[in-house]
Structure 1
């Protein structure tokens, strides 16, 4: 038996262009009342077609330096001016959300979910989530299973009302390692303080994909201020940004684990154009977000009340319908939800049909887009007339479709755009001679040392390297290790050997070592089958500062357990840089175990047994694989 597949001829580019134009025109004639979409300002929209859309923006800002940009051993021209914008956007996030740390690299809300799951839990762990029937996201449970996690659910007593005592019982019985608030259908704030009291040191992640703009405007709740450890979201619902994701937090250790996970397995390109649009939206929200968010709440309540007054049944009427941007029409007395949604769409009114709150057939209506269009309450009265007439069967869709389209076309201006005033940006005139990099300082050290390699493919005697291989196996069982993460060096008599670039410290071969033979004029001379680790200068310099016969560096990123370790913590430094080598060599004079933030642990000792003991002591406290 074969599939009956119908083949069609490929479209011409002209036909594709025409179809896009027709869809754009059709969309501009629709009254968009979906709760899960946003409207970009002209400035934010314009950068989506910037030529920077073709360029990579790699790594977390704290690990970037001026161009060239670097991610591990991958180097190319960076985007120095964008770095300046990101620094400003980071400060905006601190103001809007009370976050100390932020990562803009997630591509969507689901990508943010996957990232926090991977960063803050391990296969076999249990994650507490909101059941779909209580308003949770319909994909959370599947993502848990796909990532090898179990899941349990909060107990609810009513629509958007968590039963805290029963939830405490679930927590104590299931012992989840992560609490996740992942609602996609909800109306009221969640009891974050009370949930944090229940879970204690277990991280609590609040997904604010729907209400991020209201939180930024101070009009919903303050998740981080109320005790959530991580605030994450997509950025295109009440927050009027592009379709992208964001993760914020107050805990440096948790956010470093999140950022490391993104850098080493979850994202390469963060989609530069969308990131720029997000930065613009953040600054717009910083300037006018409070007024916008306040108006969203007023419009949601006003439209909900207007529909209720016209006989349309709504959920949560006894609680004021909503405390955010959306509310729900109870479709059960009116007919089937899909048929009702289709009736509205035929009248050029777009809403969501959902199954919400114990599987109630409902229509979900959101007001964030009409708010940004500047709709008045008189406009909302007219919208309520149309929707009520259509849902109650008093008017046919074709009778109002044209009226709706004309109404929408007359209201195309975008509000709350900050100082950009909704205008498209002018193309800047940059002198051809302008430099994108800061001028080098006289007599300053280079960014990286030069490597001069003499090729020698002779493997080392197994007895000589066995101690280092044993240390590699011990350090390689920590979390966050990949098959090219970390490096090791050791000294035999006056011979210093360091692991080769790209070698796997957990499974080092006798040929995976390179000898460091001399250093002169910022050039490190080596002998071996291939180039040494990018951190080879760190290994060399440490031996000028301390009696480091053995040096082991892995990429473990500690969580809160860092407080229980006898570890010296130093600020993040660029991979493989002279700056990193100098910082670690200085720190080695004060501690034999060093944590370079966002990078990993460094152990050193004058003896093999002591170095093994240092690694073992840390391994007993942290999670290993």
Structure 2
């Protein structure tokens, strides 16, 4: 089984068999284990084809019609196509598709709107915020004065009263709404109201949810936020990379913040692959997929809860689930190791208001494989049995291989 075109695969096997074997081994790993990492997905063969195309050879600093290198006639068309598809897909006035990652997109958004030392209000890292939301190890925490809001200790939902109180006290230059581990929909209208009250910009970090937005399975931040940052992988199923959406009034500032301020040459093969992904996400089939992701995640969460894991917020509205395995007598790091041995791949995350970590998992990749609610039930049962010590991980891995064998990510 291979998604590498036969001629290219043959060349790679002859020229560098060591690397070729690594690629095949990774394909085997992805195809025989359950990918429940919430930030991952399987791109289509068409997206992979664009990534491995001759556009990888082209250097294209600048923007279409204003490049710093010659020979950009074709890549200009590719970038314009990606931009127009993104604008249409998300109903945005402007799109920048050049950021190399979600973090690059957030950096550019800050560069467009803020100055070093400005105060920013964002979800605290222990409550599900991202490194770019004020971590002292990240540029965000070094350059800006971040104030963290959190979630309610009992419900696990964002504490809106605290958000408003902190905004009134600190008068931030920007408010960030978004998370890497919050499984519920965000109230973008509320954040817009608070931002307007204190005269702040509203930045939506929708890296995890914009793919659901594209399929109509989650509310859009675009009508409310001044700038929306996102990744093009995760639920969206595009190449690894970032994007920024904004209104026409901020378009020039955002573009200059991407190039030349935070990065130079765009990766044109990735830009073309983003165009492919945006085109795929505009289809009825993708909308059905996005809604199935949410349905699968809700079923998976419910059965994990029935197996004894404690679900933060009691469930999920999105593709993402966070859960504490402590009621089963195992901590998150040990649980992740046991499940990895069983061929079930997921992450750990911080648990709000607890001196412990939990598990973070998502349903996007397994839904891409065609799995449905019955498979979610089976996955939850396997997790529960392994974590309770009722099923040896090696034996569970046999069941996982049978399941993935029926739902290969890249059918032959």
The aligned residue for residue 270 of structure 1 is 266
- Does residue 1:378 correspond to 2:381, yes or no? no
Give the C-alpha shift of residue 377 in structure 1.
Answer: 2.5
SS of the residue corresponding to residue 412 of structure 1 reads: coil
Distance 1:307 1:168 in 2: 34
Give the C-alpha shift of residue 274 in structure 1.
Answer: 1.4
Q: 2:339 aligns with which of 336, 341, 344?
A: 344
- Does residue 1:233 correspond to 2:230, yes or no? yes
Distance 1:389 1:165 in 2: 40
The aligned residue for residue 207 of structure 2 is 209
Give the C-alpha shift of residue 44 in structure 1.
Answer: 0.5
Matches within 5 A, 1:101-116: 101-116=94-109
Distance 2:398 2:295 in 1: 28
Q: 2:151 aligns with which of 156, 164, 180?
A: 156
- Answer 1 or 2: which has greater helix percent: 2
Give the C-alpha shift of residue 381 in structure 1.
Answer: 2.6
Aligned residues of 1:144 and 1:151 also touching (Cα < 8 A): no
- In the superposition, the TM-score normalised over structure 2's length comes to 0.88
- Does residue 1:406 correspond to 2:402, yes or no? yes
Q: C-alpha root-mean-square deviation of aligned residues, in Å?
A: 2.1
Q: 2:288 aligns with which of 291, 300, 303?
A: 291
The aligned residue for residue 112 of structure 2 is 119
The aligned residue for residue 310 of structure 2 is 313
Q: Could you give the per-residue CA deviations for residues 511-567 of structure 1, whole angstroms, max 9, x where no partner exists?
A: xxxxxxxxxxxxxxxxxxxxxxxxxxxxxxxxxxxxxxxxxxxxxxxxxxxxxxxxx
The aligned residue for residue 87 of structure 1 is 80
- Does residue 1:23 correspond to 2:26, yes or no? yes
- Does residue 1:35 correspond to 2:38, yes or no? yes
Give the C-alpha shift of residue 281 in structure 1.
Answer: 0.7
Give the C-alpha shift of residue 139 in structure 1.
Answer: 4.2
Matches within 5 A, 1:56-95: 56-60=59-63, 64-65=64-65, 70-71=66-67, 74-80=68-74, 82-95=75-88
CA 239–56 in structure 1, closer or farther in 2 if over 3 Å, else same: same
Deviates more, 1:147-156 or 1:300-309: 147-156
Distance 1:55 1:248 in 2: 25
Distance 2:139 2:259 in 1: 21
Distance 1:23 1:121 in 2: 41
Distance 2:326 2:296 in 1: 25
Distance 2:123 2:307 in 1: 33
Distance 1:187 1:26 in 2: 27
- Does residue 1:302 correspond to 2:299, yes or no? yes
Q: 1:52 aligns with which of 28, 31, 55?
A: 55
Matches within 5 A, 1:566-577: none
Aligned residues of 2:133 and 2:141 also touching (Cα < 8 A): no
Give the C-alpha shift of residue 367 in structure 1.
Answer: 0.4
Q: Could you give the per-residue CA deviations for residues 197-255 of structure 1, whole angstroms, max 9, x where no partner exists?
A: 12214210101111111111111111122x111111111111111110000012x2222
Report how many aligned residue pairs link the two structures. Answer: 390
SS of the residue corresponding to residue 303 of structure 2 reads: helix
Aligned residues of 2:127 and 2:350 also touching (Cα < 8 A): no
Distance 2:191 2:133 in 1: 19
Distance 2:184 2:375 in 1: 26
SS of the residue corresponding to residue 408 of structure 2 reads: coil
Deviates more, 1:359-368 or 1:235-244: 359-368
Aligned residues of 2:56 and 2:267 also touching (Cα < 8 A): yes
Q: Which runs of 5+ in 1 are unaligned?
A: 1-11, 415-421, 424-625
SS of the residue corresponding to residue 124 of structure 1 reads: coil
Aligned residues of 2:106 and 2:132 also touching (Cα < 8 A): no
Distance 2:340 2:267 in 1: 32
Distance 1:145 1:205 in 2: 14
SS of the residue corresponding to residue 156 of structure 1 reads: coil
